[in-house]
Amino acid sequence: MSVAVLGSSKMTIRRWFVCQLLVIVSVTLLSLFRGFEFAGAVFVGGLICSIPNMIFARSWFSFFSARYPQQMLIMFYFSEVVKFFLMATLFLLVFKFLAVGVLPTLLGFASGQAGLFLGSMIKHKS
């Protein structure tokens, strides 16, 4: 894959994550009306969503090469497994060690997923 296409792909992914973080922060600010603890739990849930996705993107682009499609596919699935394992681990750690509510944490997680989805729908003007 050419350097220009790879750089363009990285910028697209970066825009997706910026959108995801903007949605997480917006939902967190809106949830301040329910209290600081609620808003904190929403923010933590958003981080549970965004951190593994960022790690996945970083590992994916560190291996990205069109010359080895079989290895790319293996790396993609391996990165997905690591991402899901990390999300599950973060949920377990948060619920075990932080005094957060389940509903606001899941709301934050869902807002992170929605932000990533919305970011992928935004068209870049070239």
Distance between CA atoms of 48 and 5, rounded to whole angstroms? 30
Tens digits of residue pLDDT in 41-64: 999 999 999 999 888 887 777 666
Distance between CA atoms of 76 and 83, rounded to whole angstroms? 10
Provide φ and ψ at 123, rounded to 5°. Answer: -90, 135
**pLDDT of 88 strictly over 80:** yes
* Contact present, 53 and 17 (Cβ < 8 Å): yes
Confidence category of residue 119, pLDDT binned at 50, 70, 90: confident
- Cα dihedral 19, 4, 77, 91, rounded to 10, equals -30
* Contact present, 38 and 104 (Cβ < 8 Å): yes
Confidence category of residue 65, pLDDT binned at 50, 70, 90: low
Distance between CA atoms of 125 and 110, rounded to whole angstroms? 28
Tell me, what DSSP letter sits at residue 98? S
The tokens describing 108, both together, are 């934050």
Residue with token string 């933590």: 44
Q: Choose the weakest-confidence range: 10-24, 64-78, 111-125.
A: 64-78
Which residues, 6+ apart, have CB-to-CB distance to 89 below 8 Å? none
Pick 13 or 50 by higher pLDDT: 50
| Mean pLDDT for the stretch of residues 71-94 | 89
